Structure 1
Amino acid sequence: MTPAELEAFLEREFPQIYLDGRIWHVEETGPMRARMRLDYHPRNLRPGGTLSGPSMMTLADLALYVAVLAQIGPVPLAVTTSLSFNFLRKPAEAALLAECRLLKLGRRLAVGEVTVFSEGAADPVCHATGTYSIPDRRPDPSP
């Protein structure tokens, strides 16, 4: 799926992520990878002037989902089965970029890693690994 197809899919299947505007963007997809952006918005701040962990976690999970769908097509019921996060440094008050790379894409499971950066910074602010369960896509043999 292309970035435009993925954004249309997300808007159709998960309209709730856009309730406060379009701050989530699929920037790029490719073989076994995807890149997403979360625009800076003050609602994602937490005390201390840093972007919240839940914002980074959502971006990482969404980037992994997008990377999987970019390879297998629009499968709404592909679901997260595990996610692990390492918060590495305080993110700047800036947009966040997530680079996802799939490490394995099987028939039933996809495993990937996501590195999150503050826009304009070279050092990552978060690293995540995760697994997605891919539902059986064979036709139902029952009449």
Structure 2
Amino acid sequence: MTKSALPQPIMTVDEIEKLLDEVFPQLHHGGRTVMVEAVGSMTARLRLIAHERHLRPGGTVSGPAMFTLADVGIWVAILAHMGPGTLGAVTSNLNINFLLRPPHGDVIVECRLLKLGKRLAVGEATLFADGSAEPVAHAVGTYAIPAAKK
């Protein structure tokens, strides 16, 4: 028995960035700091350009900033594969484990969809300090996908 090919994205990085600007401008409140870098087969890669507002005392990127990056990253992976009709997909659960304190600097999230169904999607997000191979956080999330409008 052969495995079927993994689904490919139906939206490009530029299309996703444009859509986010239109429907989710609050993501960039205070200046653009979250960038979609790539989408691939069941994957997405985003970058957080850590600004002072993303830091906690001690100069490390805060947990809430990393949580947001993981959540948006998995959501973007879903959007890339299912299109703008899934803008209403909502997080129903997101569990994150913080592994290391990232220094002040960019944080990269590598997202992979584990399940992409009609009503549910499950994905994982691994976060890295830019230039480091060691993860700083790992998250797993489940997203409810709205029924198609008829």
TM-score range, shorter chain: over 0.9
Cα RMSD (Å) of the superposition? 0.8
Aligned residues: 139
Q: CA deviation at 1:138?
A: 4.5
Q: CA deviation at 1:90?
A: 0.6
TM-score by length of 1: 0.95
The gaps in structure 2 that reach 5 residues or longer are 1-10
Distance in 1 (alpha carbons) for counterparts of 2:26 and 2:81 = 24
Q: 1:1-143 maps to which residues of 2 (within 5 A)? A: 1-74=11-84, 75-139=86-150
Partner SS state of residue 26, structure 1: strand
The gaps in structure 1 that reach 5 residues or longer are none
Greater than 4 Å deviation, 4+ residue runs: none
Q: CA deviation at 1:88?
A: 0.2
Deviations 1:29-68 (A, max 9, x none): 0111100001021111101211100000000000000000
Percent identity of equivalent pairs: 54
Distance in 1 (alpha carbons) for counterparts of 2:38 and 2:26 = 22
Deviations 1:59-82 (A, max 9, x none): 000000000001000122111000
Which 10-residue stretch deviates more, 9-18 or 65-74? 9-18
Which 10-residue stretch deviates more, 35-44 or 60-69? 35-44
